[in-house]
Amino acid sequence: MGMLDGKVAIITGAGRGVGREEALLMAKEGCNLIINDIGGGASHLDKDAKIADTVVEECKALGVKAIANYDSVVDYNKTKGMIDQAISEFGKLDIVVNNAGILRDRMIFNMAEEEFDLVIAVHLKGTFNLTRHAGSYFREQGKAFPDLGNFGRIINTASDSGLYGNVGQSNYGAAKSGIATFTVIVSQELAKYATVNCVVPSARTRMTTDLTPKMANFMKMKTKEGFDIFNPEHFAPLVAYIASDAAKDINGEVFRAIGDKVWVYRGWKAVKKISNNMQTFTPQKLAERFPELMKDLPSKREGAATPDELMG
């Protein structure tokens, strides 16, 4: 018995890296799958159907049904087609994993409009597109069959760049931060019919090595016992669990996972304040008081895993 026996899932960007590992583990847990990947990888330029087809065959070899989908998540109507494809092929849909992504790293003073627009389109709008159509389906089914409860599962994917900010990734970071906030809001809107959660992988993929060369050596980190910390297969169990019925009470959360560790994150929080005795601040008074406000603030990267923590 697998945790996902008989379930049906759409996984976008499932041809390589984290998405592929998610698909393979969910297949092992008994889930039937729509494997979506345009075959363009992190560049989003070329198309190669073999990328999705290969993962489909790998999943079938694990004893489940799987079919490929080669459409871009940027297209609103084609994401609706993914929902229709799942229902046509399998009779239902239970799970959506929004994992498709690209990079166009550039310092803001060099970034072209299309480099910003495409990254936002694939990550943020793509997450909206599929969530919008899946959410509608889950609501319709939930209203027609109340005993289903919150049967649907939507899992969105953010990143460290969205949590902490990385130089050269204002487009990518903005999209990923937006996805985390989008998750929190939509989870409340769909709570009666589905859970909506967000995961933040830190794993060795082409996006974190080939397209981000400065990360390549860091992503090869192993413990002294030889544990390969950033192997993407370590991340997949978190997604498989959140997709299962065992996680029906987990909703609107953001989880970060690296190696053998999982963190839960809770949005923006105030860290310090000043007040002015019920009097409106003047610019001059603020200039006087701001050194007090800004003194001894926690690091903006507080909560980020350090190498020592990862090795422990």
* pLDDT tens, residue by residue, 25-36: 999 999 999 999
Query: Cα–Cα distances in Å, from 89 out to 26, 71, 92, 120, 141?
Result: 18, 16, 8, 31, 17
Instruction: Say whether pLDDT at 206 is over 70.
Output: no
Q: Is the pLDDT of residue 282 over 70?
A: yes
How do residues 216-226 score in pLDDT, each as one tens digit?
565 566 666 76
Q: Which residues are catalytic?
A: 159, 172, 176
Q: What is the mean pLDDT of residues 76-99?
A: 98
Which pLDDT does position 240 carry in this prediction?
A: 97
**Is the pLDDT assigned to residue 47 strictly greater than 70?**
no
**Predicted pLDDT at 227:** 61
Q: Does the model's pTM come out above 0.75? A: yes
Lowest mean pLDDT among 31-35, 229-233, 245-249: 229-233
Q: Where are the domains of the chain?
A: 8-265
pLDDT for 106: 96
Place 46 in a pLDDT band, splitting at 50, 70 and 90. Answer: low
Q: Is a pLDDT exceeding 60 seen at residue 41?
A: no
Domain 8-265 CATH class label:
alpha beta
| 269 vs 30, higher pLDDT | 30
**32 closest CA partner among 87, 81, 104, 75:** 87
Confidence of residue 212 (pLDDT cuts 50, 70, 90): low
- Please tell me the predicted confidence (pLDDT) of residue 72: 95
Judge whether residue 203 has pLDDT over 50.
yes
Does residue 209 have a pLDDT over 50?
no
pLDDT of residue 140 exceeding 80, the answer is: yes
With a cut of 80, say whether residue 265 has pLDDT above it. Answer: yes
Query: Regarding predicted confidence, which is higher, 243 or 161?
Result: 243
Q: Is pLDDT of 137 > 80?
A: yes
The alpha carbon torsion through 98, 17, 240, 77 (nearest 10 deg) reads 20
pLDDT at 298: 87
Residue 158's pLDDT band, with cuts at 50, 70 and 90, is: very high
Instruction: Pick the more confident residue, 206 or 293.
Output: 293
> How large is the average pLDDT for residues 182-191?
98
Q: What is the average per-residue pLDDT within 38-65?
A: 83
Task: Calculate the average pLDDT of the chain.
Answer: 90
**Distance, CA of 281 to CA of 302 (rounded, Å):** 30
pLDDT value, residue 205: 60
Mean pLDDT in residue range 107-128: 98
What's the average model confidence in pLDDT over 96-105? 95
